[in-house]
Chains A and B, each alone.
Chain A
Amino acid sequence: KQEVTQIPAALSVPEGENLVLNCSFTDSAIYNLQWFRQDPGKGLTSLLLIQSSQREQTSGRLNASLDKSSGRSTLYIAASQPGDSATYLCAGWTGAGSYQLTFGKGTKLSVIP
């Protein structure tokens, strides 16, 4: 059964720092990977989708990469801002004939002004 680990579980940084969030899968056969952001008591917002033919995606200050050989992904946030404070979740799809995204528990990020 596919499981996803996100490290660290929580992270607090001062404003302006660059930071990296990590995500790893027990089964490295990942077809695609998404990073989401969740604000307290709210739904998820898709930030980046790395599709099967890609290794990384960039959007503004965010960059996500996927190493399929190891089943690991990182989300890099540059010049962090207090508005980046949220929980970040990664989710992978193994493409095993059904739509089953496997989610991690998330990393709770706090950016201190």
Chain B
Amino acid sequence: ETGVTQTPRHLVMGMTNKKSLKCEQHLGHNAMYWYKQSAKKPLELMFVYNFKEQTENNSVPSRFSPECPNSSHLFLHLHTLQPEDSALYLCASSRQGTGNEKLFFGSGTQLSVL
């Protein structure tokens, strides 16, 4: 248990569906992240939130919409996804978001887009 909880663990959705991924951290951290892990590719940073403010958007398509209502919760809203969006989506947190600190990851949501 890393202190970062992601739900759901698995999600299957059609290309016209709308769904949301949820992440909650119980570590008192101020920075939260969404990463995408596709087969045979390195982890890709999608979004960074520092003290609830989005500080990085790594050229992610608009069909992915993040939301950070407070420092403990992070959502990723999904709509009109493509089959190539199928991947493991990982949430992470860190204390200050400075880069010189450990990242704590959740177990991920395995997403399949049909």
Contacts and interface: CB of A to CB of B under 8 A. Distances in A.
Interface of A: 4, 31-32, 34, 36, 41-46, 49, 51-52, 89, 91, 93, 95, 98-105
B41 A105 contact: yes
Contacts, number: 72
A41 B92 CA distance: 15
Interface size class of chain B, counting residues whose CB lies under 8 Å from the partner chain: 20 to 34
The 7 closest A-B pairs by CB, nearest first: A43-B105, A103-B43, A103-B42, A44-B105, A46-B102, A43-B107, A93-B99
Interface of B: 2, 4, 6, 31, 33, 40-43, 45, 48, 50, 55-56, 58, 88, 90, 92, 97-108, 110
B39 to A, nearest CB: 10
Contact of A45 (B33, B100, B105, B110): B105
Max chain B C-beta neighbours (<10 A), residue from A46, A49, A52: A46
Given A42-B107, A43-B4, A44-B103, 4 more contacts: A43-B108, A46-B102, A99-B48, A105-B42
B4 A34 contact: no
B107 A32 contact: no
Contacts of B2: 43, 45
B40 A46 contact: no
Nearest to A4: B42
A36 B108 CA distance: 15
